[in-house]
Amino acid sequence: MSQSRFEELIHRARAGDRSAENELLQKCRSYVSLIARAQIEGWMRTKFDASDLVQQTLLEAHQGLENFKGQTEAEWLGWLRGILNHNTLDFARKYQGAAKRDVKREFSINQTGRNVDQSDRQQWELKDQTETPSRILLNREQEILMAEAVAQLPADYQEVIMLRNLQRLSFKQVAERMNRSPGAAQMLWLRALNQLQELLECV
Amino acid sequence: MSIEIEKALNPVSNEQDDQSELAVEVLNQYLNYLQTHDPESCHGLRAVNPELKKLMTCLDSLERLAPDAERSNLKDHSSGPEDATLLFSQTDSGRSLPHQTIEFGNYELLDELGRGGMGVVYKARQKDLNRIVALKTILSNQFASEEEVRRFYLEAQAAGRLQHSNIVPIHEVGQYLGQHYFTMDYISGGSLANSNTRQLSETSQGDFYQVASLMLQVSQAVQYLHSKDIIHRDLKPSNILIDENGMAHVTDFGLAKIFDAIQTGSEDDARTQSGMIVGTPGYMSPEQAAGQLTEISARSDIFSLGTILYELLTGVSPFKQNSPLDSLVYVIEGEPPLPQTHNSSIPYQLELICLKCLEKDPDLRYQSASELADDLERFIAGEPIQAQPAGFRQRFQRWFRRQPALVSRLSAIALSAGIIQTVYSTQGIDFTYHLKMMTIFGLWAMLALFFQWGLDHLKNKEKVRFCWVAADVSLLTGLLVLADSPLGILLIGYPMLIVAAGLFFYVRLVLFTTVLSILAFAVLVLLRPELTVLWQYPVIYVMVLAILGMITAYQIFRVRVLSRYYDLHRPER
């Protein structure tokens, strides 16, 4: 998947090509899923099935596509991340039950795309800009490929990568969470990394 | 997949077990550096562990996927503060890591004291002896091979045997996770570069004796190094540490020489480029700046001592310029203003000592650090010093180095005026013609003096240079308009101005001069119809002028690129 291929997909999807849009969203599924899990699991400190959140995010992306103004891969992923963040945050609120729900926000989640008012537009555009400059400069294609590769790993490999790399836990904490000795967790991590690297080389 | 990692995957024997344990340790350390945003250390680990490069690349892209704490607007949107803090607690703790102590083998890194191209210096606690030391890491990209690492250890161990009350002792060399380091005494007072200079420049007479006694200690330490056949090569204020009793301690000695030996030993390697010039522009001697490695001797250190003394006396570094290239050029051919022009209360004898250290020709400097120490001691004791005031020739040379633009113009004007005067006296041409020519020459000389004054006193030196060049071109054109036919050979003046403008090393100045010269020549062609007898000649002349300007500008551009490269790969800041 080259940069221009990806941008072509974005272009066609924005022009209303359903199959292109579908392909675009499917390509990003692993990416969205991985980031969602990293955020939620880091916060809940336990495993979490993020498929609902991913579904929700991709659905909103589909519904709100006409509001996406960017052209590049980086802008697209930044936009997706923006929608995802907003969903994970909502999920966190619901889960804690501490805060009252923002009615307006709920409206915007369910109605985006069908009933877009001006304030909603601005909200999406604001999300669009949440990217830090350093992120935008990086090669985003690598991120999608990496997320796909992680998704192909066996479950325990995925978990150790999730804990050590994405949640930035120390090996002592990783070992506790996985019920293994720290040494075993480290060896597992090394094997996971090796397999990841092989998967990436095959692409 | 490399063999190394195959082994790691199938741990059969103990040795292979160790291999993969080491790999995990290095990779984990690498990830820690990534997560604490320390690209320099990452780079170091990468360089010493080429077989793990691919896995490190993997870690890089995984890190980019990890949730990012910088998107603060999420916090703004959240209604309850608790969830935001919880949601981001993980990344927050990752970020605060640099403030905690970092384990480094037998040491705990407490604080970063400074960093340079060679590595980072930390304040560290040695765990087994429970003492505070300074720990300097050496970036592994300084080494090209195992052999060089071995030599580094040998030299560092030799340096560890040195003992002098004004030298910072080295305790230990070693490596941890592929990172080479050495430890030395921790001196609490900071270095000359960041502590005392400002106080010393606000002067009372007593302070000058303090400066002299400080320099005396440093000279004695340098003399000791020289007696052990070690040339420091990188003496500068930041390498002279002052303890709480005000005693000076020289540090970082000899290592520059080690690296230098490494660099000259392997000239094919691309790495050598970054270390070609060891030292710090602004404090190194002309022979170092010019890259004449064979010329470097103990007397090069004397020159550096002179720059430090100059800075202590005046508060200004004598050769430091905006870019390293300018500093290098200035060290090689420039001459700083006399110390007394900065501060008239500086004792004449100290100025003489300082200038003798700063002689371009090593033979004219003090021949050893002990000679310098002796003269400083005489100054402190109130006895006459050995350094003599400069003779006429030396003075003229210094003047030329200090104000080259002025001296070269005045010389050219004097020579040309002299020739015209001779012609006038012998052949007796028209008096008004002669008067006009001489007036222009006189005006030219006055303007040169005025612009030199502007360069020395006005803030916007660039503008002064542009105006100066513009004045030169106009006056030359004026002369050519008035001069007797045939002009022919005299047109050499324009190319000369273009090339001379190149001496300032500014691309824009050269292009500006070229354009002006071409315009001036066009005016000249209009006023002097004889030039257009053959119309193609002026056209050729203009094109040659343009090409000449472009070549000169291009040469400067190339040197500037090298300068930028050097700026990025400076061995020591």
Q: What is the pLDDT of residue B533?
A: 78
- Flag if B80 and A200 touch (Cβ within 8 Å): no
Write out chain A residues lying below 8 Å of B53, CB-based: none
Write out chain A residues lying below 8 Å of B62, CB-based: 146, 150, 161, 165-166, 196
Q: What is the pLDDT of residue B567?
A: 62
Q: Which residue of B has its CA nearest to A187?
A: B24
Sign of CA dihedral B345, B351, B353, B354: positive
Q: How far is A114 from chain B (nearest CA, A)?
A: 23
User: In this complex, which of A39, A98, A161 lies closest to B62 when CB atoms are compared?
Assistant: A161
Q: Which residue of B has its CA nearest to A105?
A: B77
Residue with tokens 């230098």: B260
Decide: helix, strand or coil at residue B89.
helix
* Averaged pLDDT, B431-460: 88
Indicate whether B333 pLDDT > 90.
no
Q: What is the pLDDT of residue A3?
A: 55
Q: What is the pLDDT of residue B467?
A: 92
- Flag if B35 and A146 touch (Cβ within 8 Å): no
Site from A161, A190, A191 to mutate, B interface, most B CB atoms within 10 angstroms: A190
Q: What is the pLDDT of residue B51?
A: 77
Catalytic residue among B185, B234, B252, B260: B234
Long-range contacts of B17-21 (CB under 8 A, 24+ apart): B20/A187, B20/A190, B21/A186
Q: What is the pLDDT of residue B566?
A: 65
Q: Are B240 and B249 in contact (CB under 8 A)?
A: yes
Q: What is the pLDDT of residue B397?
A: 84
Cross-strand partners of B542 = none
Confidence of residue B472 (pLDDT cuts 50, 70, 90): very high
Does B31 contact A at CB distance below 8 Å?
yes
Write out chain B residues lying below 8 Å of A94, CB-based: none
* Distance between CA atoms of residues B139 and B38, nearest Å: 13
Confidence of residue B518 (pLDDT cuts 50, 70, 90): very high
Length of chain A: 203
Write out chain A residues lying below 8 Å of B57, CB-based: 197
* Averaged pLDDT, A80-85: 84
Q: Are B218 and B248 in contact (CB under 8 A)?
A: yes
Tell me the CA distances in angstroms from B19 to A183, B46, B179, one per residue in order: 14, 17, 17
Indicate whether A28 pLDDT > 50.
yes
User: In this complex, which of A89, A167, A194 lies closest to B90 when CB atoms are compared?
Assistant: A167
* Distance between CA atoms of residues B224 and B164, nearest Å: 7
CA atoms within 13 A on the CB side of B523: 16
Write out chain A residues lying below 8 Å of B23, CB-based: 190
Q: Which residue of B has its CA nearest to A95?
A: B83
For residue A25, the tally of other CB atoms under 10 A from its CB is 19
Give per-residue burial for A153-176: e unless 16+ CB within 10 Å, then b: beeebbbbbbbbbbbbbebebbbe
Cross-strand partners of B125 = B108, B132
Q: Which residue of A has its CA nearest to B10?
A: A191
Confidence of residue A27 (pLDDT cuts 50, 70, 90): confident
> How do residues B539-573 score in pLDDT, each as one tens digit?
999 999 999 999 999 998 888 887 777 666 554 43
Does B154 contact A at CB distance below 8 Å?
no
pLDDT higher at B346 or B260: B346
ipTM associated with this complex: 0.72
Q: What is the pLDDT of residue B505?
A: 81
Indicate whether B237 pLDDT > 80.
yes
Indicate whether B179 pLDDT > 70.
yes
Q: Which residue of A has its CA nearest to B87?
A: A43
Tell me the CA distances in angstroms from A41 to A38, A49, A173, B44, B97, one per residue in order: 5, 9, 14, 32, 21
Host H or E run for residue B227: helix B205-227
- Flag if B66 and A99 touch (Cβ within 8 Å): no
Sign of CA dihedral B268, B271, B274, B277: negative
Q: Please state which of the ranges A70-79, B23-32, B145-154 shows the lowest mean pLDDT.
A: B145-154
Q: How far is A112 from chain B (nearest CA, A)?
A: 18
Instruction: Find the Cα–Cα–Cα–Cα dihedral B275, B278, B282, B287, rounded to 10°.
Output: -120
Provide the percentage of residues in chain A whose pLDDT is more than 90.
Answer: 3
Annotated catalytic residue B234: yes
Confidence of residue B298 (pLDDT cuts 50, 70, 90): confident
Q: What is the pLDDT of residue A117?
A: 39
Q: What is the pLDDT of residue B312?
A: 87
- Flag if A98 and B83 touch (Cβ within 8 Å): yes
Closest CA to A21 of A55, A49, A63: A63
Most confident of A14-23, A27-36, B228-237, B356-365: B356-365
User: In this complex, which of B1, B58, B65 lies closest to A166 when CB atoms are compared?
Assistant: B65
Residue with tokens 């004695």: B220
* Distance between CA atoms of residues B167 and B235, nearest Å: 12
Cross-strand partners of B183 = B135, B172
Write out chain B residues lying below 8 Å of A91, CB-based: none
> How do residues B111-166 score in pLDDT, each as one tens digit?
777 765 566 788 888 988 888 898 887 766 556 566 667 767 777 777 788 888 89
> How do residues B251-284 score in pLDDT, each as one tens digit?
876 555 544 444 444 433 333 333 445 567 778 8
Six-digit token string for B360: 């371009």
Q: Which residue of A has its CA nearest to B4?
A: A194
Average pLDDT, chain B: 77
> How do residues A135-153 score in pLDDT, each as one tens digit?
444 456 677 888 888 888 8
- Flag if B68 and A100 touch (Cβ within 8 Å): no
- Identity at B308, one-letter amino acid code: I
Q: What is the pLDDT of residue B519?
A: 94
Write out chain B residues lying below 8 Å of A138, CB-based: 64
> How do residues A159-192 score in pLDDT, each as one tens digit?
899 888 888 888 888 888 888 888 889 999 999 9
* Distance between CA atoms of residues B216 and B225, nearest Å: 14
Confidence of residue B339 (pLDDT cuts 50, 70, 90): confident
Q: What is the pLDDT of residue B217?
A: 93
Tell me the CA distances in angstroms from B286 to B281, B292, B295, one per residue in order: 10, 9, 10
Which residues contact residue A59 at a Cβ distance below 8 angstroms, ignoring those fewer than 6 apart?
Answer: none
* Distance between CA atoms of residues B510 and B37, nearest Å: 43
Q: How far is B28 from chain A (nearest CA, A)?
A: 9
Give per-residue burial for B93-129: e unless 16+ CB within 10 Å, then b: ebeeeeeeebebeebbbbeebeebebbbbbbbbbeee
* Averaged pLDDT, B418-445: 86
Residue with tokens 């995957």: B9
Confidence of residue A107 (pLDDT cuts 50, 70, 90): very low
Write out chain A residues lying below 8 Å of B55, CB-based: 193-194, 197
pLDDT higher at B517 or B194: B517
- Flag if A143 and B70 touch (Cβ within 8 Å): no
Q: How many contacts, defined by CB atoms under 8 Å, are there between A and B?
A: 121
Give per-residue burial for A187-202: e unless 16+ CB within 10 Å, then b: bbbbbbbbbbbebbee
pLDDT higher at B508 or B16: B508
- Tell how strand B170-176 and strand B179-185 pair up: antiparallel
- Flag if A167 and B66 touch (Cβ within 8 Å): yes
* Distance between CA atoms of residues A34 and A19, nearest Å: 24
Question: Among the residues of A15-132, which ranges form H helices?
Answer: 18-27, 29-44, 51-63, 73-96, 103-111, 118-128
Angle between helix B39-48 and B14-35 (nearest 10): 160
pLDDT higher at A106 or B386: B386
